[in-house]
Amino acid sequence: MLAVAIQENTPPWIAGLHEIQDLEVREDVLLAPMGSFRIGGPADVLVSPSSPEAVASLQEFVLREALPLTVLGGGTNVLIGDLGIRGVVVDLSGGFNFLHEEELDDKTVCWHVGSGCGTGRIVRRSVTKGLVGAHVLAGVPGSMGGALIMNAGGHEGEIGDVVHRVQVAQAGTLHWLNQEECGFSYRNSMFARDAIVLSAELHLQKSVNDALRETVSHAQKRRKSTQPLQKPNAGSIFKNPEGAYAGQLIEESGCKGWTEGQAQVSPLHANFIVNLGGATAAQVLTLVERVRQEVASKHGVTLKMEVKLLGDFGPELNVLKGELVNAGK
């Protein structure tokens, strides 16, 4: 019945997870390799569901057992604590990595995209098929699920603009939310805190000329020349405050190049922190706070986090983590 032999000393809650259908369960999995920062301790348990029903059952289980649950997408906009993530971490990159196409009329196509689908695949397919809308993810790494949660995008627009509806699992129930209910705004959405985004329907327009390929290539080139892509990082650390650019404020405050251990404010783009090799989450978080304080004192602006802080940073830094998360809401 169970695909995996369960050891005698396995805690009962982990043994219980093994009984959920369509759910692969792995214990004590190091998360650093799963995020673009290459930082972070282990997950107690990493699970990979392969059906919406498995996700719903998982939610019922963690509710019953009062276990914390965290979803990790492509890990490109997160800083994971050095002590890892307690409870259950969900990875949708296996079972929810799909992209199906349906023609709606002579101008519009509907894409059914799983949350585990990578943005690179989405952009490549947009260009090949000449479909406008999801190309706004050009140069934005990660997964469809993360892009929906973050309402990712750039100069060309945001992914929320082309969302028709999104399937979520919440408290063990599966349902669909229309675009309005998703509450998309700048690098934000209004999915419930405990919702797991499973897939989306995107309505894309057939392009009438060859401009799309050019637009995507331009966006990718611009990012290559302005972002420190050679070093591990997690994209923009802070959101742009109303009417200003976080990177510019940080640069004007003199923080470019600041270091804390092996974490450095990128000399190329001040809103990026790079991992020079072996940086810890503690070093990154300490540097984040030094930059925030400096910008507040020089410009009177309190920057809010764009990067999500996940997991356990240790007793002292967990307090700072809590403050930063609350300030970012």
Q: Which of 38, 125, 187, 292 is catalytic?
A: 187
The DSSP annotation for 71-138 comes to EESSSSSEEE-TT-EEEEEEE-TTTT--EEEEE-SSSEEEEEEETTSBHHHHHHHHHHHTEESGGGGT
71 contacts ligand FAD (rule: CB under 6 A): yes
Would you call 289 a catalytic residue per the annotation? no
Query: Cβ of residue 227: shortest distance to ligand FAD, in angstroms?
Result: 5
Of 40, 114, 235, 311, the residue at the interface with ligand FAD (CB under 6 A) is 235
Whole-angstrom distance, CA of residue 179 vs CA of residue 181: 5
Q: Check: CB of residue 83 under 8 Å from CB of residue 314.
A: yes
- List all residues 6 or more positions away from 78 whose beta carbon is below 8 Å from its beta carbon: 35, 37, 72, 234, 307, 308, 309, 310
Query: Cβ of residue 78: shortest distance to ligand FAD, in angstroms?
Result: 4
Query: Cβ of residue 6: shortest distance to ligand FAD, in angstroms?
Result: 27
95 contacts ligand FAD (rule: CB under 6 A): no
Of 49, 74, 133, 247, the residue at the interface with ligand FAD (CB under 6 A) is 74
Would you call 187 a catalytic residue per the annotation? yes
Task: Tell which positions 283-312 bind ligand FAD, by CB under 6 A.
Answer: 308
List residues bridging with 174 in a β-sheet: 169
150 contacts ligand FAD (rule: CB under 6 A): yes
Query: Cβ of residue 66: shortest distance to ligand FAD, in angstroms?
Result: 19
- List all residues 6 or more positions away from 245 whose beta carbon is below 8 Å from its beta carbon: 271
Q: Per-residue x/- mask for ligand FAD, residues 243 to 272, rule CB under 6 A?
A: ------------------------------
Task: Tell which positions 20-49 bind ligand FAD, by CB under 6 A.
Answer: 36
**Residue nearer to ligand FAD on the CB measure, 30 or 208:** 30
Whole-angstrom distance, CA of residue 141 vs CA of residue 208: 27
The DSSP annotation for 236-248 comes to -SBPPPTTS-HHH
Structural tokens at position 319:
């307090």
- Which phi and psi (to 5°) does residue 146 adopt? -65, -40
157 contacts ligand FAD (rule: CB under 6 A): no
Query: Which run of H or of E encompasses 158?
Result: strand 157-158
What count of other Cβ atoms lies within 10 Å of the Cβ of residue 137? 26
Of 81, 130, 145, 311, the residue at the interface with ligand FAD (CB under 6 A) is 145
- List all residues 6 or more positions away from 129 whose beta carbon is below 8 Å from its beta carbon: 101, 109
Of 48, 57, 59, 115, the residue at the interface with ligand FAD (CB under 6 A) is 115
76 contacts ligand FAD (rule: CB under 6 A): yes
Would you call 306 a catalytic residue per the annotation? yes
Q: Which of 115, 236, 253, 266 is catalytic?
A: 236
Query: Cβ of residue 68: shortest distance to ligand FAD, in angstroms?
Result: 12
172 contacts ligand FAD (rule: CB under 6 A): no
User: Which spans in 19-79 are helix H?
Assistant: 52-65
Number of residues that bind ligand FAD (CB under 6 A): 34
Structural tokens at position 38:
């290459």
**Residue with smallest beta-carbon separation from ligand FAD:** 146
What are the strands of the beta sheet with 259-260, ordered from one edge?
259-260, 263-265, 273-275
Of 52, 95, 141, 311, the residue at the interface with ligand FAD (CB under 6 A) is 141
140 contacts ligand FAD (rule: CB under 6 A): yes
Whole-angstrom distance, CA of residue 260 vs CA of residue 252: 19
Interface residue list for ligand FAD (CB under 6 A): 36, 70-78, 92, 115, 139-143, 145-147, 149-150, 152-154, 187, 196-197, 227, 229, 233-235, 308
List active site positions. 187, 236, 306
